Amino acid sequence: MKNTILTIIFIVITFSANAQSCGEILAYVKSQSRGTTYSSPLSTAISKVTFYTTKIDYKTHYFAVVCFKENEYSYDCNEYIYQVGRDTQYNYAYYYLDSAGKAFWEYIQPYNKNLGGAPNFN
């Protein structure tokens, strides 16, 4: 019984030490690569989206950093990071000029639970 409790405590401590907040992931991704930014000055909600490709443990990972405006007329925005699929940037870039919001909902929002740091709009 004592060994079981010690094992559980060890596992919890190990996972806690490796867990990173979305803010830490965002800072790491930005520090590791240069992104490609798609600005949306006419959008009422999205200021810009920046896509990053980063290698972590010899694997390629794709991220989108979405900057949501605080309100329709705001110049300030809040950044949220999404871990997305390989083709997300291509698809978003193709459609965002028609509607940044629609492109976001179609190609980025489906990934909102991957990192747990994106807002939940449900």
pLDDT digits (tens, 9 = 90+) for 59-68: 999 999 999 9
The number of folded domains in the chain is 1
Is 122 within the bounds of a domain?
no
The whole-number pLDDT of residue 64 equals: 95
Is 7 within the bounds of a domain?
no
Is 51 within the bounds of a domain?
yes
The whole-number pLDDT of residue 4 equals: 40
Is 8 within the bounds of a domain?
no
Domain that holds residue 57: 21-111
Inter-residue contact 64 to 82 (CB < 8 Å) = yes
Residues of the chain with pLDDT under 70: 1-19, 122
Is 12 within the bounds of a domain?
no
Reported pTM: 0.79
Is 91 within the bounds of a domain?
yes
Helices (H), the chain: 2-18, 22-32, 88-95, 100-107
